[in-house]
A and B are shown apart, each in its own frame.
Chain A
């Protein structure tokens, strides 16, 4: 396994980092092999998927892959696809001596509330043969009827000590040469997202050189490229045509969607060399054009129109 987040993904529930309370209760369910539907809520990189996979391993042993269906609400095109996949999967009897199969639906909050209503019926239809584990970032986006059918677990950002422990384990296994301060920097920058922390570590280690704090900064800044920021700076100097061309090139090369770009513009807005008042005015514009993009039909027109807004703020 070549990507460390996968290579070092815990296989046992007890190894899941930083979610002691939740894991203890889940272990109890698994032991009795009687489990309600589960709803995991919490930010990215806190162990929701890992926990679901660990549950499957604990219940089914080595055959776990045949008994768990992994779905991603944001990847599947519509609730009908979800329903069909669930139907096909649920029809077959579980492998081995287990009373039910598992369906893990990641990013459930990507489903519209209509789709969630449909999901609720699907959950009821297959309640005899399947258990659902839903995961989401915000439980408030999950409709009440689903919440009430699930046992809800909150996953917290992974604590500093737990993060450090996991990182040090990997550092030892992979023989990574790294400064203490650099480890602390990863812990700090990852903001409780273990996946992000491990990604940082692997990327920093991939050159094979000794890792210091500087390496970590380089890695994180390159992971969030500032090409969009350069385009905005160009627009601020009044070079609209050039900025528009540049933006197009980025869109083509990176395969970004218009909304991806608007998000990036929003993110780097505060870092621009502008008076605070301009920043706030532009913030309003970014929101306005994101709204228009959602409502409108042509992403490029909306992006160019937003980009044009920047040319008025540079000259002041």
Chain B
């Protein structure tokens, strides 16, 4: 489970925006038919959606949520939100209707959405909340005028840093406060970005130091990428997918990595196979761009990895998927480390055996590994002869370099 999911506030007192939380909570509690809907607005990652989630959970309300991922035509809003908002639930459970990221509503695909929202406002018997980044967007005006506005500001970095510190304690990771401050600062008050960053740098570790932050460069648009992915994975038609290929704020290479990471979470069976094949074709074009600087191919890469992947499915996954950050960065790093050790091992054996690294890897390494595992005495002699260091011995044995057998051989 990602940090974002795991540490999403479950109660209102876990939210970092005390004042706003109170405002929204009391408004929801006091809601009666005819009360104004709530429009929560402010920068991304400041807790707008989390506030509604936490309130629903705390009050035991059923949460009806529509977000940018779904086809939000007027019909879809009527079908899902309006019907839920006007029908009492069987057991008398109260509901709360959330239209998330309402400013993402306007586009070719959302025609007819606005009248549907207005109708929802008029007919609902349950509280309705909306979220938006910019409430003063011209296009939001007809909606804004009907709502109670709650403004969310960027979260103070100290609060973010304290939250990160708490999480590190729970995860049992030893982290310097200074490093956490740095993550909080670079998130620019965006809690979600901070959590993604934190997860990125601590994955698979028990200790976090300042230098670990080096991997974080150049990923400012990770938030927008979630919306891009939602469209790619959830749409069944060409236009929105091509739209997103054109308008996404992420680079084509970022999109490719994210799609690759999350594809198996959304698709299965034949759809998965076909979508992967499309992605693989997109990567072939990328390879040709890189090898031949043939930038014209970028269009194909970009369209195949979005529209190609989108249209590969026969059915969409209706479940909500929390997208994962591509862990390829560490994996590449780790795999690069392992490859480097493998190369140096092969080089040293090769120098001794008058052989190329390739031949050592294919013909000798499998045997030498067994000899190392079976006979410490011989392993020690070969190590001396080839001049292996502890890291290389550990690699040959597929053990950690702190393992006692490694120490024994190195002694």
Contacts and interface: CB of A to CB of B under 8 A. Distances in A.
Interface of A: 1-3, 5-6, 44-45, 49, 53, 70, 72-75, 106-107, 110, 193, 195-196, 199-200, 202-203, 206-208, 219, 222-225, 240-241, 244, 248, 251-257, 260, 289, 292, 295-298, 300-302, 304-305, 308-309, 311-312
Nearest to B285: A296
A199 B364 contact: yes
Q: Interface centre among B347, B353, B370, by most A CB within 10 Å?
A: B370
B338 interface: yes
Contacts of A253: 338, 398
B352 A44 contact: no
Contact of A302 (B256, B280, B331, B398): B280
A287 to B, nearest CB: 13
B338 A252 contact: yes
Contact of B339 (A72, A106, A240, A255): A255
A244 B262 CA distance: 12
B395 to A, nearest CB: 7
A308 B320 CA distance: 23
Closest A-B pairs by Cβ, 10 of them: A223-B366, A255-B342, A255-B338, A296-B287, A305-B276, A305-B280, A72-B356, A297-B287, A2-B381, A206-B375
A207 B371 CA distance: 8
B272 A301 contact: no
Interface residues of B, number: 59
Interface string B347-383: 1011011111111010110111111001100100110
Interface in B330-354: 331, 334-335, 338-343, 347, 349-350, 352-354
A41 B376 CA distance: 37
Interface stretch (B150-158, B222-230, B263-271): B263-271
Contacts of A44: 359, 363
B342 to A, nearest CB: 3
A158 to B, nearest CB: 15
Contacts of B334: 252
Contacts of A45: 363
Contacts of A106: 354-356
A293 to B, nearest CB: 9
Given A292-B283, A309-B273, A255 B354 contact: no
A222 B272 contact: no
A144 to B, nearest CB: 24
Contacts of A200: 367
B59 interface: no
A297 B283 contact: yes
Contacts of B268: 240
A161 B224 CA distance: 70
Dominant SS among interface residues on chain A: helix
A225 B353 CA distance: 23
B98 interface: no
25 contacts: A6-B354, A74-B356, A75-B347, A106-B356, A202-B371, A203-B370, A206-B378, A219-B370, A223-B366, A223-B367, A240-B264, A240-B272, A241-B265, A251-B331, A253-B338, A254-B398, A255-B339, A255-B340, A255-B342, A292-B280, A296-B287, A301-B279, A301-B280, A312-B269, A312-B270
A163 B156 CA distance: 76
A140 to B, nearest CB: 19
B382 A3 contact: yes
A255 B356 contact: no
B283 A311 contact: no
Given A2-B378, A222-B366, 13 more contacts: A6-B352, A74-B356, A195-B364, A196-B363, A200-B367, A202-B367, A219-B367, A224-B366, A251-B331, A251-B338, A252-B334, A254-B342, A300-B260
Contacts of B395: 255
B284 interface: yes
Interface in B264-302: 264-265, 268-270, 272-273, 276-277, 279-281, 283-284, 286-290
B316 interface: no
Q: Interface centre among A206, A208, A260, by most B CB within 10 Å?
A: A206
A255 B360 CA distance: 14
Interface in B22-63: none
Contact of A296 (B264, B283, B342): B283
A296 B368 CA distance: 34
Contact of A305 (B277, B355, B371): B277
B238 to A, nearest CB: 22
A248 B332 CA distance: 10
Nearest to B283: A296
Nearest to A107: B356
Contacts of B368: 3
A196 B276 CA distance: 39
B199 to A, nearest CB: 17
Given A1-B385, A49-B355, A75-B347, A308 B371 contact: no
Given A44-B363, A53-B354, A304 B290 contact: no
Nearest to A294: B287
Contact of B283 (A222, A225, A298): A298
A241 B288 contact: no
Contact of B354 (A70, A257, A289, A292): A70
Given A203-B371, A311-B272, A301 B338 contact: no
Contacts of A252: 331, 334-335, 338
A5 B353 contact: yes
Nearest to B274: A308
A199 B341 CA distance: 22
Contacts of B358: 74-75, 107
Given A107-B358, A300-B328, A312-B269, A295 B284 contact: yes
Contacts of B290: 297
Contact of B357 (A5, A75, A305): A75
Given A3-B382, A75-B356, A301 B283 contact: yes
B385 A2 contact: yes
Contact of A244 (B264, B284, B356, B370): B264
Contacts of B375: 206-208
A255 B335 contact: yes
Q: Interface centre among A1, A202, A296, by most B CB within 10 Å?
A: A296
A248 B347 CA distance: 24
Interface string B91-104: 00000000000000
Given A223-B367, A241-B264, A297-B286, A312 B273 contact: yes
B403 to A, nearest CB: 14
Interface in B4-37: none
